[in-house]
C-alpha cells in the first residue's frame, strides 16, 4: 500500500488508540511562491524527524505525490503530514504557491495556527507570496519568515528581509505579526539557522516552530469541527478532513452535519483517524486543536460544520475568491471521436465535472442550452488546464473552447478582472517586454533594477494575459520570469489585439505526407509530422500571414517511369512545433477549439466544414455591423 493510505498501521505500541493531548500539538502551514523551495523544506522536516527508516528509499519531493505535480515541479493539491519533535506533534500543511490554486490555500489555512513564509534570497516576495500571506494575516496566524537559497550567487538576504517587512506592513499586519522571527538557510543543503552562519541541520528552525507557533486556541463547549478538505479511499468512500476547534469527537458519536444552505443532517461517526508521518492512524477520540479525518459521513461538502446534536452551532462558511475565467467544455465531436478515450459521452463529462466541484472550491460548473456542453468557471488558465490534463489522463475525451474572462456589470457599466503582473527580465529585453504589455492595455507601475535584472510591475486586464507568456518568452529568448495575481474588477479597457497570424487548415481526412508538408513549409510553421492522422478542419500549421488558408497536406508524390536529376532528393522537413495544453489554450481564437484525448491534443476549427465556417463568419460580421 502507498504511504498515507487509510488503515496503514503506522504504530504498533499499546497506546495506538489513545486520544491526543491538546497541549502537545502545533499546526503549521508552509506558504511560498512557486519554486521557492517549499516542498524541499517539507522533505527536510520529514527526514529530520525520522519519519522514514534509515534504509528506506524516499527520493525527493515526497509530498508532491501526484504525477502532474512532479512533472511540472509545482504543488497543486494541499497535503498534510504529521511529525513528532521533542515529544510535540507538529501537523505540517503543504500549500500550493500558485494563485490559480488559491481555493486550496484559503480553506487549508483554517486548519493552521501559524505559518512559515518561505522566500527566495534572490527573488524576494513575489505576487503569489503576497496573495497567500494576506489570507494568513487576515486569519491572525503567527508568521515565521524563512529566507531560503542563501547559498546561491547574487543572493541578497538583508534586502529581502527588508522587502518582507515592507510587505507585512503594506498588508496591515498587527504589531505582533510585524515582530516576526527570521531564519536563513538552504533547503537543498539541509540547514536553517537564525543567522547567516551555516549549521549542520534544520533543528534551529524546528525549535523556532515550538517556540513561536502558539498551541491551538481551544474554547470550552461541545463539539465543533469545520470540514476544510476531502480525501477519498476506494474502501471507505469520501472522508472529511478538518480541525476540531471545540470539544472532542469520538468514534461512533452521533453528530449534526450543518450545511452552508442551512440544512442539518443527523449522522454518526464510524471511524476516526489522525495524521502520523505520511499516513494516518486510527483513534477512538480526537481532542480540540488536532486535525483529523472522519469516516462514515454522507452528503457533506467543504465548509460544512460537524456539531454536537444537542447543541447545534455552525462555524462561519469558508469564503473563496470568485473565479475570473470561463471555458466551454463539450463532448468530442471530431471524426476521431471515441478512438482514444474510455469516457466520451456527455453524461460521463457532466458527472466528472460535478465530482470535481466537490473538492475544488474555486471551480463552478453550469449547464448550457446544449446538453453536450458545460460552462466551467475557474481561477485562471493553469487552474483549468490542470483539470483538463487530469481528466485526459483518466481516459476522458472532450473539446474545450477559448478561455474567456468573466465580465460583470457594475452600476450599469462593463467591468473586467485586472491583474498585477510582475516580470523579471535581463535589462536588454526590458523595452520589448514593456512594448508587449502596453500593447495589451497594461500600465507600468514599477521599474527598478535588481542586480543584472530589470524588475517591472504592471496593471493589466486579465484578457491581456491570454497568449502573453508565449510571446514574451519568444521576445526574450526564454529569459523572462513572469508572475501575476488577480487584484480587482475595473472598467472595460476596450479591444485587445489577439493573434496576428492566421492558420493553415486541413482540407482532407487522411494521413499527412512528407511530400505535401515539404511543399508548404514556406507557408507556415507546422504542428504535425508526416504520417500523422488528421481530419478536415484540423489546424495543421500557423500561417506566416494574417488570415486562414485551407491546404492539402495529404497528397502523395506521383510516381513516373522517368527520374529527373535532383527531383528525388530527400525532403528536408523541420520538426513540428510541440505545444503544451496551456499554450494551445492561449493560442486559439473564438472560432477554434481544442480536442483533448488521452494521447492527443489537436487544435481545430469549431465548424469543420469550410462552407459552414464561411456562413458562420458572415453571420458574425452581420451581428457586429448591426
- Detail the residues annotated as belonging to a binding site for GTP: 35-40, 148-151
The whole-number pLDDT of residue 241 equals 86
pLDDT at 306 over 80: yes
C-beta of residue 148 within 8 angstroms of C-beta of residue 185: yes
What's phi and psi for 514, nearest 5 deg? -65, -35
Counting residues of the chain whose pLDDT is more than 90, the rounded percentage is: 20
Residue 39 has pLDDT above 80, yes or no: no
| pLDDT at residue 223 greater than cutoff 90 | no
Long-range contacts of 495-498 (CB under 8 A, 24+ apart): 496/440, 496/441, 496/461, 496/463, 496/464, 497/439, 497/440, 498/467, 498/589
437 vs 454: CA distance, rounded Å: 15
Binding-site residue ranges = 35-40, 148-151
Return the pLDDT at 84: 85
8 A C-beta contact, residue 97 and residue 31: yes
β 601-605/413-426 pair status:
unpaired
CA distance 343 to 337: 11
**pLDDT score at 560:** 66
The pLDDT tens digits of the residues spanning 509-538 come to 999 998 889 889 889 899 999 999 999 999
At a CB cut-off of 8 Å and minimum separation 6, what does 506 contact?
534, 535, 536, 537, 538, 539, 540, 550, 551, 552, 553, 554
CATH: 3.40.50.720, 3.40.50.2020, 3.30.70.240, 2.40.110.10. Which one for 408-491?
A: 3.30.70.240
Of residues 232 and 518, more confidently modeled: 518
- Confirm if 595 and 334 have CB atoms less than 8 A apart: yes
pLDDT in tens, 411-460: 889 999 998 888 888 889 999 999 999 999 999 998 988 777 788 999 99
Do the Cβ atoms of 395 and 343 come closer than 8 Å? yes
Q: Where are the beta strands (DSSP E) in 51-161?
A: 79-85, 88-94, 114-120, 142-148
Q: Between 35 and 596, whose confidence is greater?
A: 596
**Helix (H) or strand (E) run with residue 182 in it:** strand 182-186
pLDDT(488) > 60: yes
Q: What share of the chain is helix, strand, coil (3-state, %, to 5)?
A: 25, 30, 45
pLDDT tens for 253-298 read 888 888 877 888 888 888 888 888 777 788 888 888 888 888 888 8
pLDDT at residue 215, as a whole number: 85
pLDDT at residue number 351: 92
Q: Does the 224-308 domain belong in CATH 3.60.21.10?
A: no
Query: CB count, 10 Å around CB of 459?
Result: 17
Q: What is the DSSP letter of 591?
A: T
Question: Can you tell me the distance from the alpha carbon of 526 to that of 484, in angstroms, rounded to the nearest whole number?
Answer: 31
Mean pLDDT, residues 130-138: 79
Q: What is the pLDDT of residues 12-36, one digit of tens each?
A: 333 333 344 444 888 888 887 666 6
CA atoms of 560 and 461, how far apart (whole Å): 59
Q: How far apart are CA 434 and CA 450, in angstroms?
A: 17
DSSP labels, 4-15? T-TT-----STT
Domain ranges in the chain with CATH number 3.40.50.300: 22-212
pLDDT given for residue 573 in this prediction = 83
Q: How far apart are CA 277 and CA 334, in angstroms?
A: 48
136 pLDDT more than 90: no
Are 151 and 191 within 8 A, CB to CB?
A: no
The residue behind cell 523551495 is 37
Q: Is 137 helix (H, G, I), strand (E, B) or coil?
A: helix
CA distance 120 to 23: 33
How is residue 418 written as a grid cell?
A: 485586472
**Residue bearing cell 497506546:** 15
Where in the sequence of the chain do the CATH 2.40.30.10 domains occur?
A: 224-308
The answer to whether residue 121 scores a pLDDT higher than 50 is yes
Comparing 132-141, 170-179, 563-572, the range with the smallest average pLDDT is: 563-572
* pLDDT in the model for residue 431: 92
State residue 71's pLDDT score: 47
The pLDDT confidence band at residue 397, using thresholds 50, 70 and 90, is very high
pLDDT surpassing 80 at residue 4 = no
CB 115 within 8 Å of CB 109 = yes
Cell numbers 468557471: residue: 377
What's the CA angle centered on 242, arms 237 and 243, to 5 degrees? Answer: 150
pLDDT of the residue at 61? 37
Give backbone dihedrals phi and psi of 105, rounded to 5 degrees, phi first.
Answer: -65, -45
Q: What percent of the chain has pLDDT over 70?
A: 85
Higher pLDDT, 481 or 159: 159
**Chain region(s) in the chain for CATH 3.30.70.240:** 408-491
What is the pLDDT of the chain when averaged over all its residues? 81
Q: Which H or E element spans position 346?
A: helix 346-359
Angstrom distance (rounded) from CA 108 to CA 89: 18
- What mean pLDDT comes out for the span 586-607? 92
Residue 374: which pLDDT band, with cuts at 50, 70 and 90?
very high
Helix or strand or coil: residue 477?
Answer: coil
Cell 547559498 locates to 151
Helix (H) or strand (E) holding 450: strand 443-450
pTM score: 0.71
Phi-psi region of 277 (alpha: psi -120 to 50; beta: other; left: phi over 0): left
- Backbone angles phi and psi of 489, in degrees to 5: -90, 130
Contact present, 144 and 208 (Cβ < 8 Å) = yes
Confidence of residue 96 (pLDDT cuts 50, 70, 90): low
User: What SS3 string covers 31-44?
Assistant: EECCCCCHHHHHHH
- What integer is the mean pLDDT of 318-342? 86
Contact status, residue 543 vs residue 503, Cβ threshold 8 Å: yes
| Size of the chain, expressed as the number of residues it contains | 626
- What are the residues whose beta carbons fall under 8 Å from the beta carbon of 372, sequence distance 6 or more? 330, 331, 333, 346
CB 206 within 8 A of CB 14: no
**Residue 27 contacts residue 93 (beta carbons within 8 Å):** yes
Residue 501, C-alpha cell as written in the block: 497570424
**The three grid cell numbers given for residue 507, joined into one nine-digit string:** 482540407
The span from the CA of 50 to the CA of 84, in Å, is 9
Instruction: Give me the pLDDT at residue 565, please.
Output: 44
* Listed range (58-62, 99-103, 336-340) with the worst mean pLDDT: 58-62
Q: With bands split at pLDDT 50, 70 and 90, how would you rate the model's confidence at 98? A: low
- Give the residue, 102 or 125, on which the prediction is more confident: 125
Is residue 600 scored above 70 in pLDDT? Answer: yes
Topology given in CATH for the domain delimited by 22-212? Rossmann fold (3.40.50)
Cell of 97: 504557491
- Give the bridge partners for 417, in sequence order: 489
Tell me which residue has cell 476549427. Answer: 605
Amino acid at each position: 500500500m502507498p504511504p498515507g493510505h487509510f488503515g496503514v498501521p503506522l504504530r504498533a505500541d499499546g497506546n495506538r488508540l489513545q486520544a491526543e493531548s491538546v497541549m502537545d500539538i502545533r499546526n503549521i502551514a508552509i506558504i511560498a511562491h512557486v519554486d521557492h523551495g517549499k516542498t524541499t523544506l517539507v522533505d527536510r522536516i520529514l527526514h529530520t524527524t525520522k519519519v522514514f527508516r534509515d534504509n528506506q528509499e524516499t527520493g525527493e519531493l515526497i509530498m508532491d505525490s501526484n504525477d502532474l505535480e512532479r512533472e511540472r515541479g509545482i504543488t497543486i493539491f494541499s497535503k498534510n503530514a504529521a511529525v513528532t519533535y521533542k515529544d510535540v506533534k507538529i501537523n505540517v500543511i503543504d500549500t500550493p504557491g500558485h494563485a490559480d490554486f488559491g481555493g486550496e490555500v484559503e480553506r487549508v489555512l483554517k486548519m493552521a495556527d501559524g505559518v512559515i513564509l518561505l522566500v527566495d534570497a534572490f527573488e524576494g516576495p513575489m505576487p503569489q507570496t503576497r496573495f497567500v500571506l494576506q489570507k494568513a494575516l487576515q486569519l491572525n496566524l503567527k508568521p515565521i519568515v524563512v529566507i531560503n537559497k542563501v547559498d546561491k550567487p547574487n543572493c541578497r538576504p538583508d534586502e529581502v528581509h527588508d522587502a518582507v517587512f515592507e510587505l507585512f506592513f503594506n498588508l496591515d499586519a498587527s504589531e505582533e505579526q510585524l515582530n516576526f522571527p527570521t531564519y536563513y538557510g538552504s533547503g537543498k543543503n539541509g540547514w536553517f539557522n537564525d543567522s547567516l552562519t551555516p549549521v549542520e541541520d534544520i533543528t534551529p528552525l524546528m525549535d523556532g516552530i515550538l517556540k513561536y507557533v502558539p498551541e491551538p486556541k481551544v474554547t470550552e463547549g461541545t463539539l465543533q469541527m469545520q470540514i476544510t478538505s476531502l480525501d477519498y479511499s476506494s474502501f471507505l468512500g469520501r472522508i472529511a478532513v478538518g480541525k476540531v476547534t471545540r470539544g472532542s469527537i469520538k468514534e461512533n458519536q452521533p453528530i449534526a452535519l450543518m450545511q452552508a444552505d442551512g440544512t442539518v443532517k443527523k449522522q454518526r461517526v464510524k471511524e476516526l483517524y489522525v495524521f502520523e508521518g505520511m499516513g494516518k492512524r486510527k483513534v477512538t477520540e480526537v481532542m480540540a486543536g488536532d486535525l483529523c479525518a472522519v469516516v462514515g459521513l454522507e452528503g457533506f461538502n467543504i465548509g460544512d460544520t460537524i456539531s454536537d446534536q444537542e447543541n447545534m452551532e455552525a462555524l462561519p462558511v469558508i469564503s473563496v475568491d470568485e473565479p475570473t475565467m470561463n471555458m466551454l467544455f463539450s463532448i468530442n465531436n471530431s471524426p476521431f471521436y471515441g478512438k482514444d478515450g474510455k469516457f466520451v459521452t456527455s453524461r460521463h463529462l457532466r458527472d466528472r465535472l460535478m465530482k470535481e466541484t466537490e473538492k475544488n472550491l474555486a471551480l463552478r460548473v453550469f449547464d448550457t442550452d446544449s446538453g453536450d456542453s458545460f460552462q466551467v468557471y475557474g481561477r485562471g488558465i493553469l487552474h483549468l488546464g490542470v483539470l483538463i490534463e487530469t481528466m485526459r489522463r483518466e481516459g476522458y475525451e472532450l473539446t474545450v473552447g477559448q478561455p474567456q474572462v468573466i465580465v460583470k456589470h457594475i452600476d450599469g457599466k462593463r467591468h473586467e478582472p485586472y491583474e498585477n503582473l510582475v516580470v523579471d527580465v535581463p535589462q536588454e529585453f526590458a523595452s520589448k517586454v514593456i512594448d508587449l504589455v502596453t500593447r495589451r492595455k497594461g500600465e507600468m507601475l514599477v521599474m527598478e533594477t535588481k542586480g543584472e535584472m530589470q524588475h517591472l510591475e504592471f496593471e493589466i486586464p486579465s484578457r491581456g494575459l491570454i497568449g502573453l507568456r508565449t510571446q514574451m518568452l519568444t521576445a526574450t529568448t526564454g529569459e523572462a520570469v513572469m508572475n501575476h495575481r488577480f487584484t480587482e474588477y475595473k472598467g472595460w479597457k476596450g479591444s485587445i489585439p489577439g493573434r496576428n497570424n492566421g492558420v493553415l487548415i486541413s482540407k482532407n481526412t487522411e494521413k499527412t505526407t512528407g511530400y505535401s508538408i515539404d511543399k508548404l513549409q514556406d507557408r507556415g510553421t507546422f504542428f504535425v509530422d508526416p504520417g500523422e492522422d488528421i481530419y478536415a478542419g484540423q489546424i495543421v500549421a500557423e500561417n506566416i500571414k494574417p488570415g486562414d488558408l485551407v491546404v492539402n497536406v495529404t497528397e502523395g508524390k506521383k510516381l513516373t517511369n522517368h527520374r529527373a536529376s535532383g527531383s528525388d532528393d530527400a525532403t528536408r522537413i523541420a520538426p513540428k512545433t510541440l505545444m503544451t495544453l496551456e499554450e494551445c489554450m492561449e493560442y486559439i481564437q473564438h472560432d477554434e477549439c481544442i480536442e483533448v484525448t488521452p494521447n492527443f491534443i489537436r487544435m481545430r476549427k469549431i465548424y469543420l466544414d469550410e462552407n459552414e465556417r464561411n456562413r458562420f463568419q458572415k453571420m458574425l460580421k452581420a451581428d457586429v455591423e448591426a
